[in-house]
């Protein structure tokens, strides 16, 4: 059970007055773009009909990693990637950067299942690292380890017991008490935490822009500003954009939180908007004074999870931490901010939570604030598989805030499924998973508003 808000040790939120200078910050730019490799000018799908073996929809981690693995495995296949805006426009270029193990919503109950999930996700992080190294990509990342923080003694004890159990199963996580944690992160109000030393932080824009060069060199045709507006299924799938049409033997839905808009998974996945901020960059010495010396990032144990990580240039990116930091818009709307006032309230709430954890950050300037669209499922477990009467609609989605590793892993999984090799993935919890039902509008929006306001939690179904 996740606590709604505020464990016993958590600091109360302080009143916050944003300086006028901060009101002018670009309301929707993530710091991952700063210093990232240049992107070429967007090229839309030309008019007419284009034939392909596989058409990938979406230029985030899922789409780009699938195009990467497919083009490596099948160098002679014609692969087209269609992105609505520009690559990394979605969550992959707007996230908290934490490259984590595990699958959200899956509990570590039996040793075999737990080891399988750990092996798959840790292998996923290793694969990201080898892609970067093998292609000499200019990607800022680290594997300094991420912490899961506990805000009450009771949950710290449970986390301690769980960490010891995992350790006895050969998984190298480590419990640290509040004092030991102080040497890593300097957070106020946490009583313990679990370190996963193989996790880390990744700049998603760097990775996607780097991989773009690799897939294009392998012959993948990348088209931006080319939203797919209709999908017509068949032995050959037809994808319509405003300019042209792609006819492909198979398609990949790499659209995560945006997928319901394409007419798929509308009652299993919903787009949730999550707000984040980044502080001005500081030197490692300045962070050490604040208390952050040796960690890629952390998340807490609250239902409205707060999370933060330190970028290579020394900015702390931070998000979540309260109801106000998240939003669901009627009818699966994916564009945000809707209104500057609600967005401002969200950013303020995020900053208050950051100041409660790291009071010294109150004096820092905020350099960026932005919003990203997550694909959430009711049980928080994602799904990867193939569907359709012709078994040619491949999908991977619903990572529920845990997709930096998983959406990159998805490219390998979907390429194996396309090769008819299901065996390596069939026992993983995401394999062809039937995600829990979410009611349609208006019940969805009304239910979300009522539930979050009355309980302080997000709607969740424990499976």
Ligand X SMILES: Cc1cc2nc3c(=O)[nH]c(=O)nc-3n(C[C@H](O)[C@H](O)[C@H](O)COP(=O)(O)OP(=O)(O)OC[C@H]3O[C@@H](n4cnc5c(N)ncnc54)[C@H](O)[C@@H]3O)c2cc1C
Residues that bind ligand X (CB under 6 A): 57-63, 82-85, 89-92, 94-98, 100, 227-228, 254-258, 262, 274, 276, 307, 319, 372-374, 399, 401-405, 407
What 3 state SS string does 292-321 have? CCCCCEEECCCCCCEEEEECCCCCEEEEEC
Closest CA to 133 of 141, 121, 122: 141
H or E stretch at 395:
strand 393-397
Q: How far is the CB of 254 from ligand X (least distance, A)?
A: 5
How many other CB atoms sit within 10 Å of the CB of residue 162?
16
Closest residue to ligand X in the complex (CB) = 403
User: Which residue's CB is nearer to ligand X, number 100 or number 290?
Assistant: 100
Give least dist CB 307 to ligand X, A: 6
Q: How far is the CB of 8 from ligand X (least distance, A)?
A: 26
Give how far Cα 230 sits from Cα of 86, 168, 241, Å.
19, 51, 7
Closest separation in Å from C-beta 249 to ligand X: 19
Which strand (E) or helix (H) includes residue 49?
A: strand 48-57
Q: How far is the CB of 61 from ligand X (least distance, A)?
A: 4
Pairing of strands 383-387, 366-376: unpaired
DSSP 8-state symbol, 431:
B
The residue (of 32 and 178) whose beta carbon lies closer to ligand X is 32
What is the closest distance, in whole angstroms, from the C-beta atom of residue 131 to ligand X in the complex? 15
Three-state DSSP state, 339: coil
SS3 216: helix
Max Cα–Cα distance, the chain, nearest Å? 64
Of 171 and 317, CB closest to ligand X: 317
Q: Looking at beta carbons only, is 39 or 157 nearer to ligand X?
A: 39
Question: Which of residues 43 and 289 has its CB atom nearest to ligand X in the complex?
Answer: 43
3-class secondary structure, 365: coil
- Of the pair 287, 336, the CB lying nearest ligand X is at 336
Minimum Å gap between C-beta 402 and ligand X is 5
d(CA 156, CA 159): 5
Task: Tokens for 56, please give them.
Answer: 């990938």
């Amino acid at each position: 059970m996740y606590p709604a808000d505020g464990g016993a040790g958590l600091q109360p939120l302080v009143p916050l007055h944003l300086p006028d200078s901060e009101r002018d910050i670009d309301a929707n730019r993530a710091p991952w773009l700063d210093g990232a490799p240049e992107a070429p000018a967007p090229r839309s799908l030309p008019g007419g009909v284009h034939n392909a073996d596989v058409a990938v929809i979406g230029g985030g981690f899922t789409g780009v990693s699938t195009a990467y693995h497919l083009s490596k495995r099948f160098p002679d296949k014609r692969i087209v990637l269609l992105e609505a805006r520009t690559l990394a426009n979605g969550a992959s270029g707007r996230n908290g950067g934490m490259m984590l193990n595990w699958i959200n919503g899956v509990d570590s109950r039996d040793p075999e299942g737990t080891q399988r999930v750990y092996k798959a996700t840790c292998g996923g992080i290793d694969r990201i690292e080898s892609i970067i190294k093998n292609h000499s990509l200019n990607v800022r990342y680290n594997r300094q380890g991420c912490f899961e923080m506990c805000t009450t003694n009771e949950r710290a004890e449970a986390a301690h017991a769980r960490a010891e159990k995992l350790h006895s199963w050969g998984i190298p996580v480590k419990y640290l008490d509040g004092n030991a944690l102080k040497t890593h992160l300097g957070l106020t109000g946490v009583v313990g935490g679990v370190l996963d030393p193989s996790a880390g932080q990744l700049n998603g824009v760097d990775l996607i822009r780097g991989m773009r060069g690799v897939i294009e060199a392998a012959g993948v045709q990348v088209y931006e500003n080319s939203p797919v507006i209709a999908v017509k299924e068949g032995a050959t799938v037809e994808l319509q954009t405003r300019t042209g049409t792609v006819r492909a033997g198979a398609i990949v839905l790499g659209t995560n939180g945006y997928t319901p808009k394409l007419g798929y998974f509308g009652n299993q996945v919903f787009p949730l908007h999550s707000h984040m901020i980044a502080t001005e960059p500081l030197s490692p010495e300045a962070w050490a004074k604040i208390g952050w010396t040796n960690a890629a990032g952390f998340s807490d144990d609250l239902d409205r999870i707060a999370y933060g990580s330190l970028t290579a240039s020394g900015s702390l990116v931070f998000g979540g931490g309260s109801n106000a930091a998240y939003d669901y818009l009627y009818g699966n709307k994916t564009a945000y901010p809707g209104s500057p006032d609600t967005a401002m309230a969200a950013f303020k709430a995020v900053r208050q939570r950051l100041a409660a954890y790291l009071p010294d950050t109150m004096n820092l300037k905020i350099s960026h604030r932005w919003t990203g669209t997550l694909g959430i499922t009711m049980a928080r477990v994602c799904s990867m598989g193939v569907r359709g009467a012709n078994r040619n609609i491949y999908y991977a989605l619903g990572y529920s805030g845990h997709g930096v590793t998983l959406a990159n892993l998805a490219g390998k999984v979907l390429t194996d499924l396309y090769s008819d090799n299901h065996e390596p993935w069939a026992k993983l919890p995401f394999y062809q998973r039937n995600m829990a039902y979410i009611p349609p509008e208006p019940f969805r929006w009304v239910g979300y508003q009522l539930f979050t306001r009355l309980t302080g939690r997000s709607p969740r179904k424990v499976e």
